[in-house]
Structures are given as C-alpha cells and as structure tokens.
Structure 1
Amino acid sequence: MKTLILILSLLFAALQLQAQQHAGIYRDQLPDIIIDSNSSLHIISPEPIRYVDVPSHSVIGDLPEENVLRLKWVTDSNDHNSERNSYLGIITVIGESYIAQFQLHRSAGISYSSLPASFNILPEHTRSLEIPVEITTPQLRSHALSMLALRNAYPVRKTENYGIRAELNNVYTVGDLVLLDITYHNGSNLSFDIDEMRYKIEDRKVTKATNVQSVEIKPVWQLYPHAAFKRTYRNIYVLKKITFPASKILSVELSEKQISGRTITLKIKYKDVLKADRF
C-alpha cells in the first residue's frame, strides 16, 4: 500500500513538473524577424493591434494603421555592433484576441533582396488570450461584407431630400451590436462630399409646446471610411445595442461639407431594430 502511494505521489509530481515546463514559451521557440537600417519593416496583424512592446531603444515603431506596425532600426555611430548580425530582443504584439512574440535581429550582412519588406502575423505565430471580446474586427468585417452581398427589392426605410435618397437596406444584430446597411443615391449633378454622420435618439413628433429631447450616440465601427460620392454610396454602420420607446426614433443624419451643406435624415423606428435578423 505504501509502495502504491509512493508511486502515485511520484507520478503526480512528474505531471506537475511537466505542466510547469509547458507553461512557459521559450525564446528558441519564437520565430525570427530580421531588420536592417535601410528601410522600414511593416508587421501586418490580422486584427487591430492593442499593445506593442519594442525591445530596444535602437528600434522605433508606430502604428500607421490600426493593424500595421511599422518598425525602423536607427543606427548609432557609437554602437560598434551595428555592422554585424546582432540580437535586439523580443518584440511583443497583442491584438484583440491573441498575443504574438518574435525574436528581432538586426543585420547588415545579408543581401538586400533577401531581407523582408513586410511580415504577416500568421495563426501559428499567435496564442489565444482570454480577453472578453464579444466579436473581433475580422469577424465584424466578415458579417458586414455578407450584408453587402444581399439584395433586397424594397428598403426597410427611405427618405429623400435635395436630390439625395437614403435607404435602410437591412438591419442585423450580432451579440450586443446592431448593424445598419445604408445606401445613399445622388440624383443631382453635384457630388456629395460627406462631412459627418450623426446618430440620435429623438422624439417622433415634435410640437412647439414641448422641449425636444435628443440623445446622441456614437458608432463603434463602420466598414468603409467616409468619402465623396457622385451617384451611390453604401456602407455598414455598427452601433451598440440600443433600446428606446415607440415614441422615439433613431435619427441618422448625413451632412455635407460647406459651402453647399446639404443634409438628409433617415428615421429608423424601434420596430425595425426589433425585427432585425441575427448572424
């Protein structure tokens, strides 16, 4: 009996030791990235980057786009190792749902054509993070593109003003997010240069004897950036889950840059949100 207990104790200790050994990620397991002083290296993430740790003062980095990390090795005349291969340390990149780490090396001895101009973070480079992210940006983009592929014969809501027609094509929900598919048609001979789009919860009926109550809300994401359009402009806008009484509406106001300054307001009823399809 004592022998059995001893064997079980040793087996349990061995399993604990193995678990501890596999808990760490060691440097020789990390992929290598080589950078030189002649050009920047762009690291491309599959989702927006939340945090970056650059290992050396000889390397500067910035985020020209939300999913692109730009690195530049700045040579130092006092650094006698700058003309040969040298280890710079570990660079850490954290996205919405992953962490990726790489060993960064500088090199002046490798041929220019053999050095990478960009580096894509692949799934095998990443480890999952237990972060409470309801939906990642790539997933949101996939849902938005699938909405663009839909063709409805009749819009859910529409309005027209100054030769501009606004149409609410579809409303979808995913988790606590509401996705609005809106198209603008320009029937005038003047292009529409978008200034801003505002979302407000307002009273459906406004009388002179009452005070107008308006609550502005901000979108959390949109598929395309705003731009001028001559004929048609379609985009997907994402809002946090909203609730409002039947006496209110969701007002989507699109305004044009001055001097023309045309404005068109699309009014969405709460029942349109309640009837939304789900992904």
Structure 2
Amino acid sequence: MKKIILAVQFLLCSMTLFAQKTGTLTVSEIPVIGISGSVSLHFISPEKISYVDLSSPSLIGDLPEKNILRVKAAPDSIPALLSSGEAGLVTIVGETFISQFRLCFLPSQKSEYVSSQVEILPQYMRPLDISGASLSTPELKANALSILKLRRKEHVNRTTGYGIFMTLNRVFTLGDCVLLDLSFKNATNLIFDVDELRFKLEDRKVNKSTNVQSIELKPVFSLYPFEQFKSSFRNIYILKKATFPGNKVFNIELSEKQVSGRNLKLSIHYSDILNADTI
C-alpha cells in the first residue's frame, strides 16, 4: 500500500514539474466563477473575441457583441448540475490572448457567490505569441486616435470635383500596417451620402490591348463609420502594408449613393508610402 501511495505521489510531483517546465496550465490553477440557473454570465473582453469553447453540453453561449460572451446553463441540465456542481470550462480567445475559467453551479441559497459579469483582466490572460501577429483592435484604435492629435503638416495629395474635396493629410506605417489620414470637405449645400470608399492597386497606364489589373485592398480598421458628411469629415484608415511596382498606382475612390456623378479618385505614389512617417 505504501508503495502505491509513494508511486502516486511521485507521479503527481512529476506532473507538476512537467507542467512548470512546459508552461502548461493545470485545471486547479484556473479561476472559478459561480453561476446559477437564473442568471446569465457575461464575459467582457478588451478585444474582439475570435474563438470560444464550452467544454460541457450543459452550457450554452452566444456573442451578443463582438467583445461580449454570454453563457448560461441549459435548462434541462440544471438538475444534473445541482448534483455535481461542476459546470465545465470556458475558453475565450481574443486577438492576442487566451483565457480560461471554471464554472461552478451553485444553488439559489448561495446567490451571493453567483457572478453576472466577469471582466477579463490582464491577470486572467495568457499571451498568444504568434510570429507575425498583427496589432490588436485596441492598439489600432489607440494609434489612430493619436494621429488625430498630431499637428497638421502639408498634405500629401488632394483631389476635388463638384464641390467635394478629398485630402490625404499624412501617411504612417506601424508594424505591418499602413495608416492613412484622410479628410473630406463638402463645399455644397447637398449632403454627400457615401456609397463606397475603395482602396485599389491599379495599372498606371492602360493600353486598350491589355487587360486592366485591379486589386482591391480592404481596410482592417477604420476609426469611425463613414456614411455621410454635410461639411467636413476626417477619418483614419488602416490597411495591411503592400508593396507595388512602379507601373502600379494606389487609388482611393469615393462614390456617392443613388444616381450621382460626384465620384472622386485620389492617387498615392509608392514614394509616399516609402517616405511615410512611423508611429
């Protein structure tokens, strides 16, 4: 019997040492959250939630917002949960972190230990060290806001037509991203209802005998939604950094809704990207 106990102790000790060496997380180290059958539990993430795993079929969850996970006990599982107490693990993956929580099902008599909200704080996060990972949404927003506070310099380029002005104020680079500071001005009495703002790589010179090659680049982040402007509007757009040869030009196209000829195109030369400021 003593040999068995010693063997178990040795095994547990070996598992602990292995966990410490490999950086694994044991179930006993995971924070415990109390839930009940009458209260939904909301996890609030500082970043967009990209992946969720609920280890038990007794749990159901959804994402009412991109950074909020709602979890509750399945009604038909409540009797079993009351008897066992263990409701399972919740795994939440953001853009730069992973967090896990153990859920403990509590009877109504212990409602003072039941949580309705859990803010995912830094102490609950384990960083995802992925080579080449992009900036998180909060980081992108913080850098975009910092650009708005900078003193204006001479603009990079400007185009105008039909009383509408589109100005590229400055270009910045940050990691693997390009940040464009754009301003729009409406000198007319008609509100400009935005249909699309598109970013394209296109051939500089087009021959009739050749096919036009156009590559559209989608922003990974924009500071504000852009739907209309009456007088003026300024926004920061963030795109993945792209290189293009001298026979290509980077165009920004603004078009208006409905039947309208108020469409503008602004070009950015590769030298403007190469000479961009860094944040």
Could you say which TM-score interval applies, normalised by the shorter chain? 0.7 to 0.9
Shift in CA distance, 190/92, structure 1 to aligned 2, threshold 3 Å: same
- Report what 1:128 is aligned to: 127
Alignment of 1:195 with 2:184, yes or no, is: no
Q: Please, what is the CA RMSD of the aligned residues?
A: 3.0
Q: Could you tell me whether the CA contact under 8 Å between 1:75 and 1:82 is conserved in 2?
A: no
Q: How does 1:152-231 map to 2 (within 5 A)?
A: 152-206=152-206, 212-231=212-231
Shift in CA distance, 261/72, structure 1 to aligned 2, threshold 3 Å: farther
DSSP 3-state at the match of 1:144: helix
Q: TM-score, normalised by structure 2?
A: 0.81
Identity between Structure 1 and Structure 2 (%) = 46
- Report what 1:10 is aligned to: none
Look up the equivalent residue of 1:265 and give its one-letter code: K
CA distance in 1 between counterparts of 2:58 and 2:203 reads 58
- Report what 1:20 is aligned to: 18
Look up the equivalent residue of 2:91 and give its one-letter code: T
Structure 1: stretches of 5+ with no match in the other structure: 1-14
How far did residue 16 of structure 1 move?
7.4
CA distance in 2 between counterparts of 1:163 and 1:94 reads 47
Q: Could you tell me whether the CA contact under 8 Å between 2:184 and 2:234 is conserved in 1?
A: yes
How far did residue 231 of structure 1 move?
2.4
CA distance in 2 between counterparts of 1:261 and 1:36 reads 59
How far did residue 189 of structure 1 move?
2.2
| Cα deviation digits, residues 22-64 of structure 1 (max 9, x gap) | 3442333222233344454321212222211112323222223
How far did residue 114 of structure 1 move?
7.2
How far did residue 116 of structure 1 move?
4.1
- Report what 1:233 is aligned to: 233
Q: TM-score, normalised by structure 1?
A: 0.81
DSSP 3-state at the match of 2:52: strand
CA distance in 1 between counterparts of 2:57 and 2:261 reads 49
CA distance in 1 between counterparts of 2:112 and 2:225 reads 35
Alignment of 1:271 with 2:276, yes or no, is: no
Look up the equivalent residue of 1:30 and give its one-letter code: I
Q: Could you tell me whether the CA contact under 8 Å between 2:30 and 2:100 is conserved in 1?
A: yes
DSSP 3-state at the match of 1:91: strand
- Report what 1:103 is aligned to: 102
Q: Could you tell me whether the CA contact under 8 Å between 1:253 and 1:266 is conserved in 2?
A: yes
Q: How many residues align?
A: 264
Q: Could you tell me whether the CA contact under 8 Å between 2:198 and 2:254 is conserved in 1?
A: yes
Q: Larger helix proportion, structure 1 or 2?
A: 2
Look up the equivalent residue of 2:119 and give its one-letter code: N
- Report what 1:31 is aligned to: 31
- Report what 2:8 is aligned to: none
DSSP 3-state at the match of 2:144: helix
